[in-house]
Amino acid sequence: MAASKKAVLGPLVGAVDQGTSSTRFLVFNSKTAELLSHHQVEIKQEFPREGWVEQDPKEILHSVYECIEKTCEKLGQLNIDISNIKAIGVSNQRETTVVWDKITGEPLYNAVAAPVSPGPSVPVAVVPSGSSVPAPGTSSVWLDLRTQSTVESLSKRIPGNNNFVKSKTGLPLSTYFSAVKLRWLLDNVRKVQKAVEEKRALFGTIDSWLIWSLTGGVNGGVHCTDVTNASRTMLFNIHSLEWDKQLCEFFGIPMEILPNVRSSSEIYGLMKAGALEGVPISGCLGDQSAALVGQMCFQIGQAKNTYGTGCFLLCNTGHKCVFSDHGLLTTVAYKLGRDKPVYYALEGSVAIAGAVIRWLRDNLGIIKTSEEIEKLAKEVGTSYGCYFVPAFSGLYAPYWEPSARGIICGLTQFTNKCHIAFAALEAVCFQTREILDAMNRDCGIPLSHLQVDGGMTSNKILMQLQADILYIPVVKPSMPETTALGAAMAAGAAEGVGVWSLEPEDLSAVTMERFEPQINAEESEIRYSTWKKAVMKSMGWVTTQSPESGIP
């Protein structure tokens, strides 16, 4: 059996999937997209002060090497020859900021992290109303808040109009993105200031740090990033696809520390150490873009939603930048080759998705494990008129209402924990519908179906509810590792590698589970309008901005 399996395998492609809580290395068959083996290593988050989130760049790098070595050992046990691995792709948590010394190869400070979860579209930002929205979640460790004062001082000196940053980058001025974190490091960390003065400093997001280190580091490492990661720095012009001189001047960032911007699919360099020495690194995508590619959302109007602690919804808008009137972000979706066109996406996020389940478990104790929620919800099959708005720290897109707080309403003597569990699942679906409605209004392209991935999609009740509430089919691939798959596809398709065809006729048909709406349209609309009524009731709870929105 093993021998015959070895005989039929085509070229293989590896993918590094570097997330906020773990690093993984996965190996796929480029002809069938089958996942052959993988290894995962948890990584620590450090909270040196309340509201600060950091990670050790060296620990992240070591975890990548460990995952590669262990996966190669597992492939050996499966009698699969690792010399069949023809390329490696990288997908990574976006926005997390690293500055390191190009002479010693040492980080000059910990990586300043992005949210532990997908945060809201505009966390702690100057939002459409001009007010500041507090960080998502039930505690400030979800989001690194040290840069709030940096944002406030920058927002006072935006040249000309408030659209200066957004019109170039697609992003609002916010603590979430790398430019503000980098500004904070330049203002507050002497080692970083000194290295910049002495022309020793290099900046990058996690992808840049990994690619530079894996391709040789101090011995000729390649300092680059791809367009999707660059588009999350707030320094990158998404129209010209170059670092923007005016933005760099506005943030006071020296351009010589920035990585070279490349496409998402080309050979950046070769692995210089470890079991896969000599293998090209030829794919690079921010995690949400990688999931869009892995879901094969290559057509305009195709969208995917990733369900984790929060949700990330991306819709492919084609070669056109669509700017949102409803608080969504405009971002680069992918550019799959040096001479290939760039594709853009609209992105919206739900701050509290899986986090609401965790809250029911850890704060209320009505479930012992996250999986139990499905069992509770199944017992009743309805919320019995109970609605749960998890606005734990304000409402985000499309409302932008920092005064809101979480509410559970519509309670009767009959309501029990099963109904509340059901209402929590419905809340995830209603919030997704609100983002989707905003996208439809911005794009004018109504979605025919929604493609889904992420941990929560194993909950069948949630998926059926999502189809009912959106009133379109929800489609889930049977192979859940779409983010890693996207990075592998980009790597395998790169010029000079050419082992993975992205032509529509060559893309292997992925088996999908499909959830069709099972209620009538009228009932779906009634439930949604009642949800909106509940949302209105959650507003106006906090009358003065409480200190939770920043560091005292």
More confident call, 128 vs 341 = 341
Using pLDDT thresholds of 50, 70 and 90, give the confidence band for residue 137. Answer: very low
Measuring CA to CA, which residue among 514, 418, 510 is closest to residue 457? 514
Tokens of 488: 């592998």
Q: Which of 111-115, 135-139, 185-189 has the lowest mean pLDDT?
A: 135-139
Q: Is the pLDDT score of 132 beyond 60?
A: no
CB atoms within 10 A of CB 87: 29
Q: Is the pLDDT score of 138 beyond 60?
A: no
Query: 237-257 pLDDT, tens per residue?
Result: 999 999 999 999 999 999 999
Using pLDDT thresholds of 50, 70 and 90, give the confidence band for residue 4. Answer: very low
Using pLDDT thresholds of 50, 70 and 90, give the confidence band for residue 321. Answer: very high
Q: Which residues pair with 98 in a beta bridge?
A: 204
| Average pLDDT of the residues in 50-67 | 92
Q: What is the rounded distance in angstroms from the CA atom of residue 513 to the CA atom of residue 412?
A: 36
CB atoms within 10 A of CB 459: 21
- Please give the helix or strand (H or E) that residue 480 lies within, else none: none
Q: Is the pLDDT score of 471 beyond 60?
A: yes
Using pLDDT thresholds of 50, 70 and 90, give the confidence band for residue 127. Answer: very low
Instruction: Say what angle helices 57-77 and 206-214 make with each other, to 10 degrees.
Output: 60
Query: Quick one: what percent of the chain has pLDDT higher than 90?
Result: 70
Q: Which of 146-160, 453-467, 507-521 has the lowest mean pLDDT?
A: 146-160
CA terminus-to-terminus distance, the chain = 64
Query: Quick one: what percent of the chain has pLDDT higher than 70?
Result: 90
- Return the pLDDT at 120: 34
| Average pLDDT of the residues in 403-428 | 96
| Average pLDDT of the residues in 392-405 | 83
Note if the bond before 398 is cis, omega within 30 degrees.
Answer: yes
- Return the pLDDT at 341: 97
Task: Give the per-residue SS3 of 246-313.
Answer: HHHHHHCCCHHHCCEEECCEEEEEECCCCCCCCCEEEEEEEHHHHHHHHCCCCCCCCEEEEECCCEEE
Q: What is the rounded distance in angstroms from the CA atom of residue 134 to the CA atom of residue 122?
A: 10
Contact 124, 155 (CB under 8 A): no
